[in-house]
Structures are given as structure tokens and as C-alpha cells.
Structure 1
Amino acid sequence: MKGKTFAEKIMGAEAGAIVFRKPDIILTHDNTSSIAGTFAKMGGVKVSDPGQLLIVLDHNAPPTNAKLANDYQKIRDIVRQQGIEKFHDVGKGICHQIVSKYARPKMIVVGSDSHTCTAGAFNAFAAGIDRTETAGLWKQGETWFRVPESIKIILNGKLPQGVYAKDLSLWIIGMIGSSGADYMSIEYHGEGVKTLNISDRMTIANLASEMGAKNAVFPADEVLSEWLGYKAEGEWADPDAGYAREIEINLNELFPVVAAPHHVDNVKALAEVKGVTLNQALIGTCTNGRIEDLREAAGILKGNKLPDGFQLLIIPASQEIYLQAMEEGLIRLFMEAGANVLAPSCGPCLGTGQGIPADGYNVISTANRNFKGRMGNKESSIYLASPAVVAYSALKGEIADPRGDHFTDKFPFKIEQSKTVDIAKDEDRYASGTWNYADVDNLNTDQMFAGKFTYEINSSEAEKIMPYLFKGFDDSFSERVKEGDILMAGANFGCGSSREHPCVGLAYAGVKAVICKSVNRIFYRSSVNQGLPIILLPEAVDAYKQGDKVEIDFAGGFVTIAGKEFRFSPLPAKLMGIFEAKGLVNYVKSMS
């Protein structure tokens, strides 16, 4: 018998199996208010296990309008009524930093946020889910998991001076693409792992989401034991475990890289984008807001001044980190350099708080996403880099290399970039009841429903979602979509955040199904939870021509396009039960 991977050991089944498990931690944030509403619709009164819940107010902290303020107060009321002890109010920190207080080896951690995978730094199995599924967990205490196949990444050597964990993460994304690890569990092996501290590991695990992965995990080794203050008793893969793919990386050979607009996998050597004029910079977020990141930035900014009119935002990932930075004199140093230091929050990263860029702005950021419109303005462009590169570039007012100007590195991998399609200014894509996005890869959740509306409109408010559905991508969609319509789409459909608004809107509109080449893992789960079938049939997408008649037989497991039949595997009975009930809310309610 072959050995088992980390995921197979934690889940107690082979890759591909569907299992039901009770998570140790169920993480939610500002979306807790919406989750509570869905919980009530499921017939929920008392949560199954208050000890599972971890709630952090962070995405719009402090609240930016009266509705959000009321939502925050509603969440505080829920915490008190339900007896939830693991609660962190406004200003305490970003949820993925706060989870470091609780996530421990061998735990199962789920969260209504796509970057929940950050907790894999602690040898936990950590994965994002959506709001509806979270509400179901509140009521039932357990959920289903498809045991993922695994990728083994072997790290040798040590990162050179001036090269960081962020560079390694972007390097891997640039190598395999934003969907290169779809639904996979990523394991980090090799002697090079021991050279990475916990902050590094959190950065790397965080960015697993941008590779399409379900989770990423590090071993419970001496580095983790030292950080915990006691010997970590973890779980790890067998030496003869089977992997879908193995990748070996020599850390000594890496150099600074940057993700250029408008895709995270549009990775280039820093030398290739050197000199791009910048207007704004951001250091912080759940990816790079730790004390180690702030120290790197401070070492570069010390004694220097930012250019006139340049905006540098610095956001410590937690109050604890903020206080430590104060004690070390970093906050004063940042302010003397001309930076704005904000309270611990997510705001600028997804465009819901302070720091939204102006039209035409180029922004360099330590965040994890650079989709068009990600920071709240689709007329700006976002570059992603390490804290050191962001700080040095901010001082120069252009993308610059802290190591000096003589480096001429060339990134050795090239992901074929999908065409940036703006249907709002393009041809009509609707005919014969089918929306033709077959040539559009990486159609992300920001394009389907802008992040700036995520907390202004609750995901349970389907009627309010509809006017904004696909706005800015295909302006005609929300007015013209009809019950029974079908969507044809390319690869990596629904990538991006865990927001379920697009799935809610599509299901509410009565869309019969989405047929695509591949789909983001969390989007797939969200679609199931809303009763919206997603069918993976790349050959059907390739065969489709606008105007073709498309028919679907779910029971028979086939799609017919212009008379030609394409087969797919019928969905499992339990998932079909959710579709028949018109979504997880009704399904769970019927089980009560």
C-alpha cells in the first residue's frame, strides 16, 4: 500500500473521497452578520458548538458607514447571546493574523474567507468556505470535504539577501499559474523549509489561495516548536506518499519578483518592471503586515522622506504588532518619513476602507491580489511585491530594486495571460439563452460583484445584488439575464475571493447552469450551496459557437451543443439533494 499525504491523514480517507468532518475552528469576520441571517433561515437558534467559532471584526474596521456600524453591533450582540469566547473586536487585528493565537498542529480550520489557508503555517489543515456553508456549520457542527490531491514542493538551500518569502510565493504562482494547484493541498518539504520562520510560512501559506489551492501546509518542526514554546506534535506525509505533482526549487537561485497588473500570475523579475512610475504604496494586509515585514520596511525608510504627493499606507496586521512596532520606534519612523499608519484592518486591500487609489494611479502593494478594481477603483493598476521592494519603490516614486541598479534578472517562466475582456464595451455575448464567455479565463469574483459592495449588501439580499451583478464586466447582464439561461465560460471561473454574492445572484436569476473549463474551488462550493450547478466540460466550451442551442440533462449526465453530445459525471446524491432543495439553506432546514 502506498503512503498517505498530509491531507489524506487528516481527513482519514484517500484523495477524491467525500468525507464529513467537524472543524476545530470556524472563522468568520465582518460577514458574520450575514451568516447569522442565513443561520436563522435554516431554523438555527443556538449554534451547535460556540467553542468552534472565532469571530474577528477586521475587513471594514473601523466601520465606514452606518450600515456597517449596525452590522458590527449586531455581531457583538450575537457573540454575547451565543456565548462565543473567541471574539476580537475592531482594531484587534486581521483575522488571518489573529488565528495564529488558536490554530495548532493537526487541527481542521475553516473560514468564510479565501485566505483561511494562512493557518497551514501551523501544521493545520486550513481551507476557505463560503457564508452559507458557514451558517450550516453553526447549525450542524460539521461539513463535507473532498479530500484533495496533493502537490509536493521541495525547497532546497536558503533565500539570498534581499529575497523574501513573498518572492518565493510569487515565484511559484508565476511558475504554475493562478489555477495551477486547483483544489490541491500543497505540502512544503526539504531542508529549505527550516530556513523559513513562522512569518515567512504564513506569507507562503496565505498565497496558496492565489494558486487555486484548497490549503497549504508546513511540517510541525523545530521552527514551529520554538515559536509555540513547546514541542509541536503534528502530522506529516509518509515518505512514500503519492503526489499529483512534485516541484523542486533551489532557494539560492531566486531573486526579487513582482506580480504586474492585472493577474497575480503575471509575474516578472523586478528588473523587468523597474522604472514604472508609482503614485501609491501599501505595506500590510494578511500577507505581509507582521512585525518582521514592518522591520524590513523601516530599515529602508529610516532617515528618508517620501516624494511630495506620494501616498504610503502602513497597516500592522494586529494591535499586538502595532504596539510592538511602537515600542521599537517603527511607527514614529514611518510617520517621519511621511507615511500614514492606519489601524489594523483589511480596508485598502479590497477597496472597502481608507486608501482607495485615484484614476490612473499605479500602486505597489504587499497584498495578495491585483485584479482590476481590487482596491476599489478599476481605473488604477496594482503591482505586488515584498515589503522591502514596496518601501524602497515608495521612496523612489517608481518601481526600484533595493539591491541596486545593476541587476538584470529575467523571470524564467511565462504563464500565457488570458485576454482582458471588457464586455461592457465589446460585442453582444447573449444568444439563444446562452451567455458566451467561453473565451474568458480567470473571470473573477471582483468582476462579477465588486468588492467595495461586499459589506454594503449582505449575500442574503439577492434582490439588492442583482443590479450590480457583472457590472463593469458585462453591463447588460443584470438587466437581460433570464430564468433558464446558461453561461459558457473559460478556465478558472470564479477565482478570487470567497464572497458568495455572484453565486447568490446567478441562482436568484434562475441561471440553469454554468459550463466551464475549470472552476475555482470555493466558487464551486458556493454554487452548490446556492443550488447553482457548475459543469466542467472543457471540450464542450471549445466546441460552442455563439448562437448554438445548448441543452443539459443532469440525470443522464450530458450536455448537447448544436446536436453534439458531451458527457459529464453525474453529481453525488447529497449534492443533487441540495440542488433539488434550491440550495443549502432549504436543504438544512428540511433536515431539522
Structure 2
Amino acid sequence: MLNLTFVEKILGAECGSIVFKKPDIVLTHDNTASIQKTFYKMGGEKILDPNQLLVVLDHNAPPTNAKLANDYQAVREMVAKQRIEKFYDSGCGICHQIMSNHAKPGMLIVGSDSHTCTAGAFNALAVGIDRTEAAGLWKRSETWFRVPETIKVTLKGKLPKGVYAKDLSLWIIGMIGSAGANYMSIEYHGPGVKHLSISERMTIANLASEMGAKNAVFPPDEVLERYYGEKVKGVWADSGAKYYREYEVDLNDLIPLAAVPHHVDNVKSICELQGKKLQQGLIGTCTNGRIEDLKIVADILDGKKIADGFQLLITPASKDIYLEAIDEGIISTLLQAGATLLGPSCGPCLGTGQGIPADGFSVISTANRNFLGRMGNKNASIYLASPATVAVSALKGEISDPRGEEIEVRTYPFRKLYNSKNQIARDDNRKHSGVWDYSDIDNLNTDQMFSGSLTYEILSSDPEGIRPYLFKDFDENFASKVEENDILIAGENFGCGSSREHPAVGLAHVGVKAVIAKSVNRIFYRSAINQGLLLIVNREIVDAYCRGYKLDIDFQKGTILMGDKEFNIPVLPDKLKQIIDCKGLVNWILSET
């Protein structure tokens, strides 16, 4: 094979191939408690390669109730029993920041979290998986990968003053959409790359998940060598590699941006949003909680006070970053300005810990998602922006431009049309002839399918516990009326958002026969396969569907009959078909044992 992309080189196969590989690192976090139960269901006793595992307790750190505390203790006991050396207890940091201590160029890394792609900043192939797949890796040490198409993004120029890596990420997301890179690899090329620090690259790679991408990756260049303090070999694409699509971005043209409620690709310029009243801000998380981010915020807040009635929460990404910020006087500056410092945790971002906003609050955050209900309250609105924009906005209590008052007012040029009605199914009954019609619903995310606040209260290994909450915040009729052999019809980017597998587990458990969508998020696709849930991506079928049509699916023939029309559906690769036939990865692994 000649002229390969980065991902083709790492996986050793051409685009479109299915390969089985052993990852260098398997990352899990609080969901380790659930993964352990699934591991036992698979017949697991001793983890095949404990050195492969990296376990970090961070999503509910410290635990917010007794159940979570018991789950944490169960993880600690398992780690000791299985002799897992790479373990970071509550308070050490967020898993994607901790990963920076372990990721190396050319590595293959997987993690039971959608933002595992952050490690692409280190020239690693880093991808998200679900909990069941992580349990399978504990038992077998390898898993399947589809070699994806690759998007090449060429950067030139340098970010202007007041514009940051977060703005670049939002620029790209707004340009291509939240599904614009579904199941693809993103490579960052060009002379502009050398002006981006490792911290900035982590921010950009982190947000690849919000474009639907499998991964994002940066080259093993002099910036990475300075970070490691040594020469690095790494892996990079050939100059003649074939790309699915190519984009060029001039960093000099960028302006401060924000993602407006309730979706990350609903992007507008800060110029357009100035004056919007705010009640709360969040700075930190795995996206923007590094020392460079905290320095930017401290410089803006130094000697000033945040607006009356405004609550500013700051969560450093790790204990080491927290300590460094203390040594440099940053923490004192932030506290004196009126900020509230939280420990290193994912809780405020996810909505499982401190910082849940009140009804009617507008929040500006440096996190990576602004789905309805993301921070724990579906009656609040979340704006996503850079740390500088959040800090300046905190001083005024309204969205403000970090470049100052006398600026050229410019709008964001790539604004996508965003349809807010796509958030909730308002019809009394979406079910007709055994088919649930969500064909007019795009970006149906995993937070809506199963609330993030319940993710660690009800484990994914408890399908009967999941059932009453399926789609509860989206369609209140679904959980009570869904039946065995029902079919779901859905729009674009089905299953986007978090890697939580609860929706796929629940849908498979109630016996849903198939989900047919225009397009699907990559991790949800894997979760569906791993739970034995057939997920068919076919735009033609969705467009042709009318309420009341009965759908007959013949898996053996590979056809769907709808009215007087017959549609062909693709045949899965052999091993993936075996998983479906066994009704999930757990049963398939048991059958292979």
C-alpha cells in the first residue's frame, strides 16, 4: 500500500477495512464499576493484560451519594485485586488530562468516553468506545476497528489576539456541522500547526467528538518534541495520501465565537451575542482546564471583581495543574475576583456534581457540550466559548468580547441553519404500525435518550433499570409504549453526544428490531452492534417513510419492504454479523470461550 493516511498506517489497512487490533492503552473512568459487572457476565475472572488499563475516578469525584461512594470503593478493590498499576483515585484529575502522562506518538488508545480523542494531540490514534467493548478488551485485549475515511484540515497563519483554540474548534464545527466528520479521522496539517501549543492541540482534538469524528490527530513535530524534551518518531500521513475531503483555514481570519443553545454547531460570533445576560460561568473541564487556560483567566480577572449575582465556577483539569496554579498565585487571583474553585472533576460539565444551574439560568462554559439538560437542568441554557470569553463575560454578567470595546463587528460566515424544534418530540403519539417516527428529528443525543444525571445511578449492566427512563426527557410516551419488534425511524446524526451505552442497552433489552437513520454517531453505532441492536443507515428509506407504513425487514435476504417498495440493506462483515446473531458482544464472547 502506498500513500497512506495516518489512520491507515496505524491500523495497517486501507480505508473501509475491518481489522482487529490490540490497543496500547484502554482507558476507563467511573464507568469501571459497570464494566466490571459486564466483564463477569462475559465469564471474565482475571484481566488478560492489566498493564493495558488506565483507570481514573473523575466523573463524580468526590462521590455525591452513598451509592457512588460504594461504586468507587468497588473499583479500588478491583484495581488492587487485578494489580492494575495505572490507577488514579478521586481528586487526581480528569481522565483525558491524566492521559497526557501516558500517551505517546504512534500509540493506539481506546477509552470508554467519547472525548478519548483528546490524546490525538500527542500523535496517537485515540478513539472512544463503550462500556461493553471495554469489558471485552479486559477479557480479550483486542477489539475491532473500521478504518475510516480521513478529512485533511490545513491551517495557515496565526491566531489573532483575543482568539483561541476553542474559537478555531467552534469555527470548524460550525462550518462542517456536528455530523460533518461522522466516523472519520481528522488530520491537522499546515504551517499554522506549529503555532499551536500542546494544550491548544488538546482542546482542538477534544472537540473532534463534537464533529462526529472517530479521532483527530496532530503531527509528531518540533512542538511535540519540546513537550517531551526529546526527539520523537511518531507516525504521519504520506504526502500523496487520499482524503475524503479537504479544508483550509486561515487562523488570521478567526474571531471569538460561541456555540449557542442547544447544540454545538449552532455557532455565532461573540459580536452578535454581546449584551446577552448571564447568571453563571464554568471554566475548566477536559476541554479547557489546563494551566495555560487558567493563566489567561487570571490575567483578565486580576484586580477585578465578577459581576454581582454572577456565579463563576472553576475546575482545574488535574491536581497537578491545581498545585501549579497555587504556586504561581493564580488561585489567589481567581478567589479574590469572586470565583468558586472546585476540585478536578467532570461533575459540573456532565450535571452529576456541583454547579447545576437554576431554572432560567444562562450559563457560559468552556466545556464541550451544550445539549438541553447537559449540566443537570433542562430548564437552563448553555453557551460554549473560550476561557477568555467566559472570564470577560463574568466581569460584566453578560456575553462580552475578549478583544475589548473598539473592535470590528463581524458575523460568523459559515452559520448553519439550526432548527430548535428538533429537541423534543411534541406529538402525543409517534408510534404507528409498530414504527416510531422520529424522521423529522435530527441530532437526537444520548443525553435525551437517557439523562446524564442517571448515568452512574443506574448502571448500563442493569437493562431493566434503564427501561423506565428511555427517551424520558425527549418523548415521555416512549418508555411506557415501546414493545418487542418495534422499529425506530430517525433523522440525521442519531445517537450523538456522550459514549454512554444505556440507550443501546435499553433498546436492545426491550426487543427493538432495528433503528433506521439518515446518519448515525460512530460510538452509538458501535454500541448498537455490541448490544445486538441492528442499526441501518439509509437516507432513502427514511425519506420515503410515511406514518402508518408497515416495515417488513428480512435480514437473511438483506431487504426492507415498505408499502410497494423494496430497499436493499448492506450485509455486515462476518464477525459483526456474528455479534448481532448472538444478540450482543457478551454472548458472542461467551460463545467464543
Flag whether TM exceeds 0.5 (same fold): yes
Q: Distance in 1 between matches of 2:393 and 2:42?
A: 50
1:274 and 2:274 aligned: yes
User: Which amino acid is 1:34 matched to?
Assistant: S
Name the Cα RMSD after superposition.
Answer: 0.9
Contact between 2:428 and 2:477, CA under 8 Å: does it hold in 1? no
- Provide the rounded CA distance (Å) in 1 between the counterparts of 2:176 and 2:479: 34
CA contact (8 A) 1:424 1:472 kept: no
Structure 2 match to 1:237: 237
| Residue in 2 that maps onto 1:426 | 427
Q: Compared with structure 1, are the counterparts of its residues 422 and 382 closer, same or farther at alpha carbon in structure 2 (3 Å cutoff)?
A: closer
Superimposed CA distance per residue, residues 551-590 of structure 1 (whole angstroms, 9 cap, x where no aligned partner): 1111211211122111121111211111111110011011
* Structure 2: distance between partners of 1:424 and 1:547: 17
- What amino acid is aligned across from residue 145 of structure 1 in structure 2? F
- Give the 5 Å matches for 1:78-157: 78-157=78-157
Q: CA deviation at 1:420?
A: 2.5
SS in 2 for 1:80: helix
Residue in 1 aligned with 2:40?
40
Instruction: Give secondary structure in 2 for the equivalent of 1:139.
Output: helix
Q: Partner residue of 2:567? A: 566
Tell me the SS of whatever aligns to 2:536: strand
CA distance in 2, matches of 1:166, 1:307: 24
**Alignment partners' CA distance in 2, 1:208 and 1:77:** 34
Runs of 4+ deviating beyond 3 Å: 421-425
Pairing 1:299-378 to 2, within 5 Å after superposition = 299-378=299-378
By how many angstroms is 1:422 displaced? 5.4
Match of residue 464 from structure 2: 463
- Secondary structure at the aligned position of 2:287 is classed as helix
CA distance in 1, matches of 2:84, 2:66: 25
Query: How many angstroms apart in 2 are the aligned matches of 1:57 and 1:156?
Result: 39
Aligned to 1:525: 526
Alpha-carbon distance between aligned partners in 2 of 1:268 and 1:551, rounded to the nearest angstrom: 44
* Structure 1 residue aligned with 2:553: 552
SS in 2 for 1:363: strand
Is contact 1:419-1:440 (8 Å) kept?
no
Question: Which residue matches 1:475?
Answer: 476
Quote the residue 1:446 is aligned against. Answer: 447
User: Distance between the aligned counterparts of 2:34 and 2:221, measured in 1?
Assistant: 39
3-state DSSP class of the match of 2:194? helix
Post-superposition CA distance 1:351-399 (Å, at most 9, x none): 0000000000000000000000000001000000000000000110000
Q: What displacement does 1:405 show? A: 2.7
User: Does 2:385 match 1:409?
Assistant: no
* Contact 1:202 1:287 (C-alpha < 8 Å) held by counterparts: yes
Match of 2:158 in 1: 158
Which residue type is aligned with residue 482 of structure 1?
A: E
SS at match of 1:92: coil
Q: 3-state DSSP class of the match of 2:421?
A: coil
Output the amino acid matched with 1:120.
Answer: G
Q: Which amino acid aligns with 1:474?
A: D
Tell me, yes or no, if the aligned pair for 1:96 and 1:119 is still in contact at 8 Å: yes
Measure, in 1, the Cα distance between the counterparts of 2:25 and 2:68. 25
- AA matched with 2:158: K
Q: In 1, Cα distance between the equivalents of 2:149 and 2:424?
A: 35
* Residue 177 (structure 2) pairs with residue 199 (structure 1): no
How far residue 423 of structure 1 moved from its aligned partner, in angstroms, is 4.7
Code of the aligned partner of 2:233: E
Give the 3-state SS of the residue equivalent to 2:282 in structure 1.
Answer: strand
Does the aligned pair in 1 maintain the 2:198–2:224 contact within 8 Å? Answer: yes
Deviations 1:517-576 (A, max 9, x none): 000000000000000000011011011111111111112112111221111211112111
Q: Which amino acid aligns with 2:53?
A: L
Q: Which residue of 2 aligns with 1:62?
A: 62
Q: CA offset at residue 2 of structure 1? A: 4.6
Match of 1:493 in 2: 494
The offset of 1:421, in angstroms, is 3.7
| One-letter amino acid matched to 2:514 | A
3-state SS of paired residue (2:151)? strand
* Matching of residue 215 in structure 1 with residue 200 in structure 2: no
**Partners in 2 of 1:448 and 1:318 — Cα distance?**
30
* Cα distance in 2 between the residues matched to 1:94 and 1:423: 31
1:406 to partner: Cα distance: 3.3
Q: Distance in 2 between matches of 1:191 and 1:427?
A: 54
Shift of 1:417: 1.6
Which residue of structure 2 aligns with residue 184 of structure 1? 184
Q: Quick check: 1:29–1:56 contact (8 Å CA) kept in 2?
A: yes
AA paired with 2:42?
Answer: M
Contact preservation (8 Å) 1:495, 1:523: yes
Q: TM-score, normalised by structure 1?
A: 0.99
* Structure 2 residue matching 1:243: 3-state secondary structure: coil
SS class of match (1:118): helix
CA distance in 1, matches of 2:413, 2:155: 17
Q: Percent same amino acid among aligned pairs?
A: 67
CA deviation digits over 1:63-101, x for unaligned, max 9?
001010000000000100000000000100000000000
Name the SS for the 2:379 alignment partner: coil
Query: Are the counterparts in 2 of residues 422 and 472 from structure 1 also a CA contact under 8 Å?
Result: no
Offset at residue 178 of structure 1 (A): 0.3
SS of the residue corresponding to residue 494 of structure 1 reads coil
Any idea what SS the aligned residue of 2:64 has?
coil
Give a deviation string over 1:264-285, Cα, whole Å, max 9, x none. 0001111011111000000001
**Whole-angstrom distance in 2 between the partners of 1:388 and 1:547:** 52
Take 1:321 and 1:149, find their aligned partners in 2: how far apart are those partners? 36
**Equivalence for 1:535:** 536
Residue 505 of structure 1 is matched in structure 2 by 506
Unaligned runs of 5+ in 2: none
Judging changes above 3 Å, is the alpha-carbon distance between structure 1 residues 423 and 349 closer, same or farther for their aligned structure 2 residues? closer
- Structure 2 distance, partners of 1:145, 1:135, is 16
Describe the SS at the equivalent of 2:20: strand
TM-aligned CA deviation for residue 419 of structure 1: 4.3
Deviation digits for residues 89-120 of structure 1, max 9, x if unmatched? Answer: 01000000000000000000000000000000
Give aligned pairs, total.
592
AA matched with 1:341 = L
TM-aligned CA deviation for residue 308 of structure 1: 2.1
1:273-328: CA deviation from partner (whole Å, max 9, x where unpaired): 11110000000010000000000000111111112221100000000000000001
What letter corresponds to residue 514 of structure 1 in structure 2? V
Task: Measure the CA separation in 1 of the matches of 2:446 and 2:576.
Answer: 23
Give the secondary structure class of the aligned counterpart of 1:126.
strand
Q: Which amino acid aligns with 1:70?
A: N
The aligned residue for residue 71 of structure 1 is 71
Shift of 1:425: 3.8
Is the contact made by 1:423 and 1:475 (CA closer than 8 Å) also made in structure 2? no
Aligned mates of 2:422, 2:245 — CA distance in 1:
32
Deviation digits for residues 18-44 of structure 1 (CA, Å, limit 9, x no counterpart): 000000000000000000000000000
Q: Name the SS for the 2:27 alignment partner.
A: strand
Distance 1:74 1:323 in 2: 28
Cα distance in structure 2, aligned partners of 1:443 and 1:562: 27
| Paired residues of 2:423 and 2:441 also in contact (CA < 8 A) | no
Partner of 2:118: helix, strand, or coil? Answer: helix
